Amino acid sequence: MEKKYKILLIDDNPGDARLTVEVIKECHLEEDINFDIISDSEFAMDFLLKNAPYENAVRPDIILLDLNLPKKNGIEVLKEVKAHPSLKTIPIIMMTTSNAEFDLKSAYENGANAYVVKPPDFDKLIKTMECIINFWFRTVHLPVKN
């Protein structure tokens, strides 16, 4: 990779968030990718809009968004981000344990760029994350950050 990429992970489960970061390390990508983790869905927009206490936040290249969040669920966060003029071009990948057709359809109808069901084991999660990284950071051209 030519540059360092930024991923915003919005997930209320500390174990899942830690696991995602471990997967990036297993893929030997920790030098290429920085993570910010927001565990409270109500703070996601504050982070993205650089509201206090996130004034120094860096706009992410992509967002990994859990579907099943307390307070605001992932679809609500997705709608908010995609409705905001300066944020709507950030690709959002829904990462969830749900393979329900309703959730899948709702995510795409509201602007998700991808919907990924979290694999049940670590090795499959590594392969899935490698695919995500290869596609979003090595294949597609992402919009220039504002």
Residue 144 placed within a domain = no
Give the domain extent around 134.
Answer: 5-138
Residue 52 placed within a domain = yes
- DSSP H helical segments within 6-146, as ranges? 14-26, 44-48, 74-83, 101-109, 122-133
Which two tokens mark 31? 């030098």
Which two tokens mark 63? 């967002």
Residue 146 placed within a domain = no
CATH code, 122: 3.40.50.2300
Report pLDDT digits (tens) over 49-105: 999 999 999 999 999 999 988 889 999 999 999 999 999 999 999 999 999 999 999
∠ CA 67-70-74, nearest 5°, is 25
DSSP 41: G
Give the least confident one: 8-12, 76-80, 98-102, 130-134.
130-134
Residue pair 136/61 in contact (Cβ under 8 Å)? The answer is yes
Question: How confident is residue 146, by pLDDT bands cut at 50, 70 and 90?
Answer: low
With a CB cutoff of 8 Å and minimum separation 6, the contacts of 23 are: 122, 125, 126, 129
Domains held by the chain: number: 1
